Every structure is written in structure tokens, then in C-alpha cells.
Amino acid sequence: MDLAKIEEAVRMILTAVGEDPDREGLLDTPARVARMYEEIFAGLHRDPKQELSARFHVEHGEMVFVRDIPFYSMCEHHLLPFFGTAHVAYLPSDNVVTGLSKLARLVDTVAKRPQVQERMTNDIADVLFTELNAEGVMVVVDAEHLCMNMRGIKKPGSKTMTLAVRGRYESDLRMREEVLQLVRYR
């Protein structure tokens, strides 16, 4: 990541909006923003498939479900955050599973990119389905978008839910409803 170029761009933005990037409160802002971008866009430089490298054989092939995985991402249209929770379910093939933390790492890696929520949801599902050769995958993402809250339509508190299904979850509505019930369960 080109931190010097980010710093230069932030200084230009500050000047363009009528601020003085050399005033006391803003002196270190370009460098802070550059370091922040390095962190929040780290997923651009990581292969999400590698997050699923740990595999284990288990005695059953029942659904694996991890709920309420928090994430933070950036809307590619306005470069404003969207954030919320991801819920990930999959049906192992040949009784092969990955570590539970690997599912959270997958969500984190995919989230740390400029994107739209719809793509993020599908990317998580595609990686999980392909890399684990899962019989089925279902990903539900529930998020709040600052581009809807603080600008434009200005509807704070509104949530967007996206869903991606693969394999058996596409054809078996009972299985899909089971996951949705687990998402709603409190």
C-alpha cells in the first residue's frame, strides 16, 4: 500500500474542503488516515481462501453454524463504513470441517475491502463452498450503512440484509429455514 500517496491525497482533500492541513489538530491526520486505510483495506492483499487452510475430519457431517460474526467494511460508492454481523452455515462434505475461528477470519478478510454488501456476502459463500467442497453453504449478512445514515436519504438505523445460498441450501427450503431460524434465535 502506498502510504505516502494516501497522505498526499488526504492533504489535498483537507485543502479542497477549505481546511488548513498544517494547523495543529490536522498535522498528523494524513499519516493517521494512511495507517487506518492500511488496516481497514488489508483484505485487498490477502487471499481469503488461505483462511480456510486448517481442516479436520469429524465423525458427523451435520451443519456447522457460526452466528453474529461482527465485521466492518467500506462502501465502494462513498468510502463510508458499513458494519454489522455475518452468519455463516455450511454442510461439510466427507465430514471435513474447518476451525470455527477460520470462519470469522474469512468474514474479516473479505470485509476489509471497498465493496458492496451484496458482493461481500457472495464472496464469503463462494470461498467457503469451493474451498471446503461443502455440500451446502448459507451466508446471511445484516448491516447498517453510514452512506444511508448520514448522507443522501438520511435514514439512521435502517438495516440491509443479504443472503447467499449454495448447494443443498439452494434446493432445500426446510434447511434454509432452519438457518434463518437460528439467525433469528436470541
What are the binding residues for Zn(2+)? 75, 78, 147
Cβ count within 10 A of residue 93: 15
The yes-or-no answer on residue 118 being catalytic is: no
The yes-or-no answer on residue 145 being catalytic is: yes
The yes-or-no answer on residue 76 being catalytic is: yes
DSSP letter for 150, please: S
The yes-or-no answer on residue 75 being catalytic is: yes
Which of 7, 51, 131, 145 does the annotation list as catalytic? 145
Which of 45, 50, 62, 77 does the annotation list as catalytic? 77
Contact 73, 83 (CB under 8 A): yes
Binding-site members are: 75, 78, 147
Which of 7, 87, 115, 117 does the annotation list as catalytic? 117
Contact 137, 90 (CB under 8 A): yes
Which of 75, 87, 115, 131 does the annotation list as catalytic? 75
The yes-or-no answer on residue 78 being catalytic is: yes
What are the residues whose beta carbons fall under 8 Å from the beta carbon of 52, sequence distance 6 or more?
A: 98, 102, 106, 127, 128, 131, 132
The yes-or-no answer on residue 144 being catalytic is: no
Hey, which residues are catalytic here? 75-78, 117, 145, 147
